[in-house]
Amino acid sequence: MKKLFTTLSNIWKIEDLRARILFTLLCLLIYRIGSFIIIPGVDSASVQDAQAKEGLLGLLNMFAGGSFSRSSIFALGVMPYISASIVVQLLGIAVPYFQKLQKEGESGRKKINQVTRYLTIIITALQAMGYVKTQIAPEAKLMAEPLFTISSMFVLTAATMFVVWLGEKITDKGIGNGISMIIMVGIIAQLPFGLLSEFNSRMGAQGGLISFIVELAALFLVVMFTILIVQGVRKIPVQYAKKIVGAKQYGGVRQYIPLKVNAAGVMPIIFAQAIMFIPTTISSFFPSLQSSFLASFSDYTSLTYNLTFAFMIIAFTFFYTAITVNPVQMSDDMKKNGGFVPGVKPGKTTGDYIDAVISKITLPGSIFLAIIAIMPSIAIILGVNSQFAHFYGGTSLLILVGVVLDTLQQVESHLLMRHYDGLMKTGRIKGRTPVAGGSVI
């Protein structure tokens, strides 16, 4: 406890770190205030904050911090930007022009960011029209339909770009990963309501306080398990040849290539969830095609849904890892710098060795990721309130754990640079590598 207060005191002593933390808190406060501002032209008295939306809408509502269900100007949050970032990242794999931009360094990165912003505007405008048409009740609209739709589209688009701007400012002048921080704050904002809802339901049901404490203990174990998945790495030793230049010796040291057990992050879950909503969408547009098989995909607690969901997550984990981790390039970079894996020939043999290691660790990583993804459904089946069950796994828990670990790493880096003790007695906190749009999701 004494070390904790000492560390907090050291954080406050570092002027640059203190300014970054305060700036981050100010930006997050602005975002939370904006999430309660209703879209102009909507009757606030007619807007009812949904207690717990299901499926994709529930996920969007959680990421937006409840703004989606209360018809806020920040209803779409930063999800259009995340979608645009993923699209641009996939284009970087398939389109030569974007591959060239990725190799141009800082100038290429600026062009990619500019394309991402333009694509964000287009996606936001389309999503805003759909949101106004489907999520705002007709009796809540105070203006004529065409005028209300156009004005709301501009408001929602401008608000989303403002949130993206806040995220970029947090990245530049705050403690980093602004987009992820905004998503994390939105998720955390729903946690008190979920806890209160679960507590009230347990107090009025059999089991009472004991059942609620058991659920909290189970949640703690799930969080620890998720941290193990996020932090887990397989280290490949790399030996660098000695070089003597004049009187100085270079190289001759042993380093490690840390290969993450879950290199794909939350992307497999996001891809799988998007595909899992296709049967439900088809059924809504074509009622004549409805069947018991398609209906099972609309119930995310059914065995059919969860088995299919888990299988798709495992498949997408291998796919996303294959397109983001390039063993051949890693082998070539080692060879150019005079490095080699002990006992393995440089070149193609090293690339094959790294690829084999990645395949071996990706299988258990994908299975563990699938288990985390279906944990909310298991929690609901066991009687946990759906509003609280979201925190037992899935995308929300992975984002929370990843962003918290990365933020602690940023703070620890500032402490160690000023020769203060880190946040841990032994070792250092390992953050995560950005995935899309500079974020760690």
Q: Is residue 1 part of a domain?
A: no
Q: Is 184 within the bounds of a domain?
A: no
User: Which residues face 245 on adjacent strands?
Assistant: 248
Residues 202 and 165 in one domain: no
Query: Is residue 296 located within the same domain as residue 222?
Result: yes
Domain boundary among 175, 204, 234: 175
Say how many residues make up the chain: 441
**What CATH number is associated with residue 396?**
1.10.3370.10
Looking at the structure, tell me whether residues 269 and 378 fall in a common domain: yes
Domain co-membership, 97 together with 238:
no
Same-domain check for residues 218 and 254:
yes
**Nearest Cα to Cα of residue 433 among 164, 216, 176, 109:** 176
Residue 1: the pLDDT is: 60
215: in domain: yes
The average confidence (pLDDT) of the chain is 80
Q: Which of 91-95, 290-294, 307-311, 391-395 has the lowest mean pLDDT?
A: 290-294
Q: How confident is the model at residue 244 (pLDDT cuts 50, 70, 90)?
A: low
Domains in the chain, number? 2
Q: Answer whether residue 287 is part of any domain.
A: yes
When pLDDT is cut at 50, 70 and 90, the band that residue 436 belongs to is very low
Task: Kindly report the pTM of this predicted structure.
Answer: 0.78
Cβ(56)–Cβ(277) below 8 Å: yes
Give the residue from 145, 175, 205 where a domain finishes. Answer: 175
Question: Does some domain include residue 221?
Answer: yes
24 and 65 assigned to the same domain: yes
pLDDT tens digits for range 182-198: 988 888 888 888 888 88
Identify the band that residue 282 occupies on the pLDDT scale cut at 50, 70 and 90: low
Q: What is the end-to-end Cα distance of the chain in Å, rounded?
A: 32
**Do 302 and 418 fall within a single domain?**
yes
Say yes or no: 431 and 348 in one domain.
Answer: yes
> Which of 124, 142, 175 is a domain's end point?
175
**Residue 185 covered by a domain:** no
Neighbouring CB atoms inside 10 A of 419's CB total 6
Bigger pLDDT: 145 vs 30: 30
Residue 78, domain extent: 16-175
- Residue 157: what pLDDT? 94
For residue range 79-137, list pLDDT tens digits in order: 888 888 888 887 887 788 888 887 787 888 889 989 999 999 999 998 888 888 877 87
256 and 359 assigned to the same domain: yes
Residues 129 and 226 in one domain: no
Across 32-172, where does the E strand assignment appear?
Answer: none
Q: What is the C-alpha to C-alpha distance for residues 241 and 252, in angstroms, rounded to an integer?
A: 5
The verdict on residue 268 lying in a domain is yes
Q: Do 171 and 53 fall into the same domain?
A: yes
Distance CA 213, CA 409 (A): 31
124-172 pLDDT, tens digit each: 998 888 888 877 877 778 787 788 889 999 999 999 999 999 999 998 8
pLDDT in tens, 210-223: 888 888 998 899 88
CA distance 128 to 148: 12
pLDDT 10s digits, 408-425: 888 887 777 776 665 655
CB atoms inside a 10 Å sphere around CB 305 = 18
Residues 65 and 203 in one domain: no
Query: What share of the chain in percent tops pLDDT 90?
Result: 12
**2 found inside a domain:** no
